[in-house]
Chains A and B, each alone.
Chain A
Amino acid sequence: MKKIIISTLALLACVAMLSGQDASTIVERCDSVTYAPEDQVNKIKMILTDKKGRTQEREAIAKQMGNDYRLFRFTAPASQEGVAFLSLPDDVMYLYLPAYNKSRRIASHVKNQNFAGTDLSYEDMESVPMSEKYDAKLLETNEEGHLLELTYKPGRKSDYSKMVTLIDKDNYTILQSDYYDKGGNKVKALKNEKIENIGGYWIITDMLMTDLKKDHSTQMIFSETKVDTGLTRDDFSLRILERGF
């Protein structure tokens, strides 16, 4: 009887390990698709919608290199034009406010705050591969894709407790993600509404982030996307952050 119990436990452990390994593989493949282009640049139109259906629009330009470097700059409306955000390796983030002629490191207490009134937090904006950030568990694989539960690796701090993410079975792009707070409540939902093949890479061109608590959403429509443009580290520096593109 003891042997049967031990064998059963061993089998369950193996299944768990296997499913864990599968989940990790899926996440790594997803990262490799997300960060496949050497770099990409695009224009972004943001449509913010509140619970009464009133909308506000914002525009920005963004560029990204590999999985560590991202620069984002508002071009409209007038009150936010020039506000820019730089994400660098090792969780280093800077915000540039043109009114003060200064850029400032973003401390971790700000990372959970919404970026410039959108439904994306600074953490959502940072450029860090999922495999570095999360431990993954495969919940199920269905017709839509692989459903994963992502929990933060030890040492990683966030206001979120976990994410449940659906990854396309064929091209390994993220289809949707649900964000949960520490109390286990679903607080945000991300849906990638349009994914296009641009220059041989799968690129998200329309996404919707909804803050379920506030019943407020931000749609981000990407246009004029270009990939492998030859950006270098110099394009992601304080020098560029402060002077513009």
Chain B
Amino acid sequence: MKTIKRSLAGLLAVVFFSFEGTAQFGQDNALKFGGNLYIDHRVRTENGEWSWNENRLDLSLEKNFNNKAALYGNIWLRSFGFPTLTNSDQLFNKEEISPYDIDIREAYIDLYGFLLKDLDLRIGRQRIAWGTGDRINPTDNLNPDDLEDIWDFGRHLGSDAIKLDYYFSGLRLEAVYLPFFKPAVLPRGDWAEALEPPLDLPPAIQLRKISDSLVTPGYKIGESSSYGARIGGFLAGYDLSMSYVYGRDDLPLQFYNQVLLVEAPATIDIKSRLYFPRQHVFGADMSGAIGSIGVWGEVGVFLPEKSTVMKTDLSALGFPDIDSVVLKKEAYARYVVGGDYTFADGSYLNLQFFHGFVTERGRGNLNDYFMLSWEKDFFNRKLKINPLAGAFIVADWEDIPGNHAWVYNPSISYYPNINTEINLGYRAIGGEGDNMFALVKKKDEVFLSFRFDF
């Protein structure tokens, strides 16, 4: 065993030292270290309750080996959230008083001209960002969503993957293999409740507790792995690409409910089981300009591998089981179209429409979102205002007053120096109906964030 390890170490040494040599111009082979400090505090205007406390040290390092290979790593060290102290024993535990976490976002190695001159290999934990939409990318399905902060939608976790990029005839062909499945991180607090499916119980029934268990894929090639490919190029003034992914939905889907009678006559517990269904995703995207307006479009067509039928076991109450289809084996499309424009005075307008938020699944369950943002900077970019920022969500076109939501999110940013940004803003949410955003209405908050790059 030791011999194998020694041989491996020797091989790695040969590989890396063979890259060392006389650096060409523009190549910086030194180990680079950088990152940023990000502090984000939010408070609810309704009751003065702190809703967010994040202190993040985002550290990156990279090393280039004469443009033949490169190493990259990115790690978050965070003091995050609030302690939930209920008894004095917890005061002996520093982690309980000051919650923290470490997140290895990316850690990979690139090998350029791997085997073939025009072939690059990236191996390790990496972010594979596909799509042209602005933070809403229906084709971006290889990395799981990181919905921890719902306002930072579009954020994804890194995935352990092998990626090959082949360049030919002005085209780029990407092939990706992910050996392990990783689910999405779900949002915290009120947003988590908004994501729960509505539960309609007869008036006489009282629910005491809901619990669930996850059925996760085993760590076997056939069960846990995903793969995808994408080809893109430039045609008739537009960047175009097509993609395909075979993987699992990163959000769990309920497929079994067991109703347990815990106290006669009608107090019940519900035990649920959830799984991560397999799916095919066919994608296409474009970006370019029409006249002087920047435009983009992106569509992901999702085809679940099988229908998911949720079985509700009511035998404890003496009723027959109920089966209901929660996700049909039928294709549904999430798509985005958008445009942006910079006016002569330097102000910037961004408009985007999308059908289907990252948490929405299945034909008929996708809402329509209209997003707008207009910003302008002053004093040589020392100050930026974003007074018009928000979204309008239509959940039911036949009953807009009864099922809609809106978000208004103005902010002002101050840049005391080139590496520092202080951002103050407000988020107001309103609406009606059972759509996710309407369910968290009246949770308005003020936020103050600080970022320093180094």
Interface residues in chain A, defined as those with a beta carbon under 8 Å from any beta carbon in chain B: 41, 50, 56, 58, 61, 63, 75, 77-81, 92, 100-102, 104-110, 112-114, 117, 157, 159, 214, 216, 224, 226, 229, 237-239, 243-245
Contact between A113 and B342, CB atoms less than 8 A apart:
yes
- For the complex of A and B, the 5 pairs showing the least CB-CB separation, nearest first, are A107-B294, A107-B289, A245-B26, A79-B453, A78-B453
- Write the B3-30 contact mask toward A (1 if CB under 8 angstroms, else 0): 0000000000000000000000111100
Please name all residues of chain A whose beta carbon is closer than 8 Å to the beta carbon of B234 when the two chains form the complex.
Answer: 92
Residue contact A243 to B25, C-beta cutoff 8 Å: no
A57 to chain B: closest residue by CB = B418
Identity of the chain B residue whose Cβ is nearest the Cβ of A113 in the assembled complex: B342
* Chain B window 325-366, contacts with chain A (Cβ cutoff 8 Å), 1 for yes, 0 for no: 000000000000000111010100000000000000000000
Residues of B92-129 whose CB lies within 8 A of A? 110, 112, 120, 127, 129
| C-alpha gap A245/B110 in the complex (Å) | 14
Bound-state CA distance A244–B421 (Å) is: 26
In the bound assembly, the distance between CA atoms of A107 and B132 in angstroms comes to 14
Of A104, A113, A117, which contacts B287 at CB under 8 A? A104
Enumerate chain A residues within 8 angstroms of B26, measured Cβ to Cβ. 41, 61, 63, 245
| Residues of chain B contacted by A78 (CB below 8 angstroms) | 34, 36, 419, 453-454
Given contacts A41-B26, A102-B129, A109-B293, 15 further A-B contacts (CB under 8 A): A41-B25, A61-B26, A78-B419, A79-B419, A104-B132, A107-B289, A107-B292, A107-B293, A109-B294, A109-B341, A114-B346, A229-B25, A237-B167, A239-B167, A243-B110
Whether A77 and B25, one on each chain, are in contact in the complex, defined by CB atoms closer than 8 angstroms, is no
Asked whether, in the complex, the Cβ of B344 is within 8 Å of the Cβ of A77, the reply is: no
With A113-B342, A244-B64 known as contacts, the answer to whether A77 contacts B292 (CB < 8 A) is no
Report the separation of the CA atoms of residues A56 and B418 in the bound assembly, to the nearest whole angstrom: 8
State the main secondary structure of chain A at its contact with B.
mixed
The answer to whether B67 has its CB under 8 Å from any CB of chain A is yes
Give the residues in chain B near A216, CB-CB below 8 Å.
380
Q: How many Å lie between the Cα of A80 and that of B380 in the bound state?
A: 16
A243–B70 CB distance below 8 A: yes
- A244–B287 Cα gap in the complex (Å)? 23
Task: Please indicate the chain A residues that have their CB under 8 angstroms from the CB of B293 in the complex.
Answer: 107, 109
Instruction: Judge whether B165 is part of the interface by a CB distance below 8 angstroms.
Output: yes
Is B418's CB under 8 angstroms from A226's CB? no
A216's nearest neighbour on chain B, judged by CB, is: B380
User: Would A243 and B112 count as touching, CB distance under 8 A?
Assistant: yes
Q: Cβ of B188 < 8 Å from any Cβ of A?
A: no
Number of A-B pairs, beta carbon distance below 8 Å: 88
Per-residue A-contact encoding for B288-316, CB less than 8 Å = 1, 0 else: 11011111000000000000000000000
A198: min CB distance to chain B, Å: 14
Query: Are the CB atoms of A105 and B289 closer together than 8 Å?
Result: yes
Whether B120 contacts A105 by the Cβ 8 Å rule is: no
Q: Give the B interface residue count (CB, 8 A).
A: 41
Question: Which residues of B are found within 8 Å of A106, using beta-carbon distances?
Answer: 294
Q: Which residue of A lies closest to B381 (CB)?
A: A117
Pairs A–B under 8 Å by Cβ, sample size 25 = A77-B418, A77-B419, A78-B34, A78-B419, A78-B454, A79-B419, A79-B421, A79-B453, A80-B418, A101-B127, A104-B132, A105-B289, A105-B294, A107-B288, A107-B289, A107-B294, A107-B295, A108-B289, A109-B340, A113-B346, A117-B381, A226-B25, A238-B172, A239-B172, A243-B70
Q: Do most interface residues of chain B lie in helix, strand or loop, or is the interface mixed?
A: strand
B165 touches A239 (CB 8 A): yes
Nearest residue, chain A, Cβ from B287: A105
Rounded to whole angstroms, the CA-CA distance of A109 and B167 in the bound complex is: 30
- Known A-B contacts A56-B418, A78-B34, A105-B239; A214 and B292 likewise in contact (beta carbons under 8 Å): no
Q: Which residues of A contact B70 (CB under 8 A)?
A: 243-244
CA gap between A50 and B67 in the complex, in Å: 37
- Mask: chain B, 424-454; 1 = CB below 8 Å from A; 0 = not: 0000000000000000000000000000011
Q: How far is the CA of A113 from the CA of B343 in the complex (A)?
A: 9
Tell me which residues across on chain A come within 8 A of B453, comparing CB atoms.
77-79
| Distance to closest chain B CB from A241 (angstroms) | 12
Cβ distance A117 to chain B, nearest Cβ, rounded Å? 5
Q: Please, which residues of chain B bring their CB within 8 A of the CB of A229? A: 25
A81's nearest neighbour on chain B, judged by CB, is B34
Q: What is the CA–CA distance of A181 and B262 in the complex, to the nearest angstrom?
A: 79
Query: In this complex, what residue of A is CB-closest to B339?
Result: A107
Chain A residues, CB < 8 A from B381: 117
The answer to whether A109 and B292 touch (CB under 8 A), given A100-B129, A237-B167, is: yes
The answer to whether A117 and B380 touch (CB under 8 A), given A61-B26, A109-B294, is yes
Answer whether A224 and B25 are a contact pair too, CB < 8 Å, given A239-B172, A243-B110.
Answer: yes
Would you list which residues of chain B between 362 and 385 have a CB under 8 Å from chain A? 380-381
Contact mask for chain B residues 21-48; partner A; CB cutoff 8 A; 1 contact, 0 none: 0000111100000101000000000000
**In the docked arrangement, what's the CA distance between A243 and B419, Å?**
23
Contacts of A75 in B (CB 8 A): 28
Are A110 and B294 in contact, with the CB atoms below 8 A?
A: yes
Q: Judging by beta carbons under 8 Å apart, are A79 and B418 in contact?
A: yes
Q: How many angstroms between the C-alpha atoms of A92 and B421 in the bound complex?
A: 31
Interface residue ranges of B57-72 to A (CB < 8 Å): 64, 67, 70
Query: Which residues of A sit under 8 angstroms from B294, Cβ to Cβ?
Result: 105-107, 109-110
Are the CB atoms of B292 and A157 closer together than 8 Å? yes
- Which residues of chain B are within 8 angstroms of A50 by Cβ–Cβ distance? 380
Q: Kindly state the separation between the CA atoms of A238 and B232 in the bound complex, as whole angstroms.
A: 11
B449 to chain A, nearest CB (A): 15
